[in-house]
Amino acid sequence: MAALCAIAVLAVTAMIDRRALLIAAAGIVVVVVAMVLWQMYLKWTGHKRSRALSSQLAAHSSGTPSAIHDPALLATLDRLRENFARGIQKFEAVGKDLYSLPWYIVCGEPGSGKTEAVRRCKVGFPPGLQDEMQGAGGTINMHWWVTNYAVLIDTAGKLLFQEAPPGSTTEWTEFLSLLRKTRPNCPINGLLLVIPSESLIKDSMDDITAKAGKIARQLDTIQRTLDVRFPVFVLITKCDKIVGFREFFSGVKDPQLQDQMTGWSNPAPLDTPFQLEAVNRHLAEVVQRIGRRRLGMLKDPMPTDHGKRRADEVDSLFALAGSIGALAPRLRKYLETIFGTSAQAAKPLFLRGIYFTSALTEGKELDTELAAALGLSEDQLPASKAWERERSFFLKDLFLQKVFKERGLVTRATNTTKLIKTRQRIIGAVVAAGALAVLGISYAGYKALKTSVGSELAYWRAGAKAENWAGTRWRPIVNGRLEYTGNDVVQLDVNQELPIMQFHEKLQAQAGADLRIPAVFKPIESLAMQANPRRRQAQRVLFEASVIAPVVEANRDRLINASGWSAADS
């Protein structure tokens, strides 16, 4: 785009004048050189900051906090720092600046499916930056996932659920401290909170309240430690455990449909407190949409599995809407405990949305109603059938079209609405001040130009008057008889007149001196007007039409008449 604009400018100026083309080309070269130098400066400062950060991390990793005396905890913190430093080194090895990509924390309880959701999100992982099988046996403290669009820091579930006395150092607080030191301007761009459907199905309300309370405290710690507000994306993982999910989506073979985003995005502004009613409405809408879709699927009489009856498939397929509806009270409790407690805080948490996902199809569905009827636990129920394991649903578009594209929602402002209005006022004031300055400078330049031009304006008006012209002659200083008429007066204005020869003398002196063009009009004068060369050219035209041509013509006529030559002979 910039190249096209430059070509357009050069094309336009080339049509105006060669000098204008040279000026425009020089200006473009200056701009390009300035941009290159600026990029080199940014790259240099980025490398300098990265080297300083690496030194800080190395010193931090080798240091031993004096307040910690537990050898096991010291070893754990050392492993965490080393892992963090390795992640930074991998990131910098490909020439990336620490702020060039957004960073997201992925957290949740142990075994919630965080790592598999990241591994199978299909966003594309550049080869060599990470082991794509990392975390298969569990996450010790964190795993780095560097994509072409963002950095995902997959944290171990135990970090989020660590309990420690206030003021003490834990892996979680140490991790946050490293984040703050690494990217002080923007530690993270968002957080993905993973809640497995297993917890929503099997956990009691007391268990959910306890888990949600721990998560709420840790999220509050994140905001206070990092001093930023960020969007929280809630991912309901392992949805394949929900009764009816597998049958409902087993017929979806189109990869685009499998990758689409399924859930609800909060349309409220960032400062809007958590509204449980909005979550209730969303869950009700999800159940209704599934119900409508279910009616269309029930019209198909053919079984998807040739070994089963269509009626058997319909039973499970029919259950999905009710299964999600049964999860709603527990999910509401989760969200109310996490986000409702921060509603009165100075910087409340922002629920960006709720999204349903499935990274793998494994294990068996957790049918609470059937388990209750049989007097068994959900885990004791036999598996119904074998399913294709390596199928993921509703992950890719969630990351690419939602999470990564909303990197700019992070802020330090307590009240973003007020901040936006303040910035708008500042921008408006700056624009107004700039406009007034331009008007003032333009007016001052106009006055200066008027004064400069005004001293010779009467001469040019006299030169342009039709009554002073006789064909191609302007007030000749000799007549046809070679009689001198240079003392005849030229009327400049009502109160001023000059002899013709004095007129030419003064006009030549004025045209020989350049006009003082104010800086505000310099570009226009250089590109289009070229007033000084044209003034001198106009003065020569008047002098030739008034002095040179009449004298030459009169002398020629005299010579012809004296020698008896005819006009044809001459």
Place of tokens 């492993």: 79
- In terms of Cβ atoms closer than 10 Å to its own Cβ (0-12, 13-18, 19+), residue 166 is exposed
Q: What are phi and psi of 142, to 5 degrees?
A: -160, 160
**What are 343's two structure tokens?**
């509603």
> Could you read off the pLDDT of 52-80 as tens digits, one per residue?
655 555 554 444 444 555 677 777 777 77
> Could you read off the pLDDT of 341-359 as tens digits, one per residue?
665 566 778 899 999 999 8
What's the sign of the alpha-carbon dihedral 163, 169, 174, 176? positive
What pLDDT shows up at residue 468?
Answer: 84
Edge-to-edge strand order for the sheet containing 151-155?
A: 142-146, 151-155, 103-108, 190-196, 231-237, 350-356, 263-265
Strands 469-470 and 473-474: antiparallel
> Could you read off the pLDDT of 296-309 as tens digits, one per residue?
666 665 656 555 66
Q: Does the structure show a pLDDT above 90 at 190?
A: yes
What is this structure's pTM? Answer: 0.67
Q: Does the structure show a pLDDT above 90 at 396?
A: yes
Place of tokens 């005396």: 69
Q: What are phi and psi of 388, to 5 degrees?
A: -65, 120
pLDDT mean over 321-335: 89
**What are 370's two structure tokens?**
């059937």
Say how many CA atoms lie within 13 Å of 345 toward its Cβ. 20
Lowest mean pLDDT among 189-193, 198-202, 433-437: 433-437
CB 499 within 8 A of CB 486: yes
> Could you read off the pLDDT of 374-386 as tens digits, one per residue?
555 655 555 555 5
What pLDDT shows up at residue 66?
Answer: 46
Q: Which neighbouring-strand residues pair with 356?
A: 236
Q: Which neighbouring-strand residues pair with 190?
A: 104
> Could you read off the pLDDT of 76-96 as tens digits, one per residue?
777 777 878 777 777 666 666
Residue among 230, 4, 237 at smallest CA distance from 113: 237
pLDDT mean over 126-139: 69
Instruction: Using alpha carbons, list the distances in angstroms from residue 468 to 42, 226, 232, 473, 491.
Output: 66, 82, 83, 8, 10
**What are 118's two structure tokens?**
């990241």
CA 85 to CA 566: how far, in whole Å?
105
Contacts of residue 324, Cβ cutoff 8 Å, sequence gap at least 6: 242, 283, 286, 287, 290
**What are 12's two structure tokens?**
């336009």
What's the sign of the alpha-carbon dihedral 31, 32, 37, 40? positive
> Could you read off the pLDDT of 514-552 as tens digits, one per residue?
777 776 667 666 666 677 888 888 889 888 888 888 888
In 139-272, alpha helices (H): 157-160, 171-182, 197-202, 205-226, 245-249, 255-259
Counting residues of the chain whose pLDDT is more than 90, the rounded percentage is 15
Say how many CA atoms lie within 13 Å of 272 toward its Cβ. 12
Residue among 359, 288, 282 at smallest CA distance from 320: 288
What pLDDT shows up at residue 62?
Answer: 46
What pLDDT shows up at residue 188?
Answer: 92
Give me the helix-helix angle, 531-543 and 416-464, nearest 10°.
Answer: 10
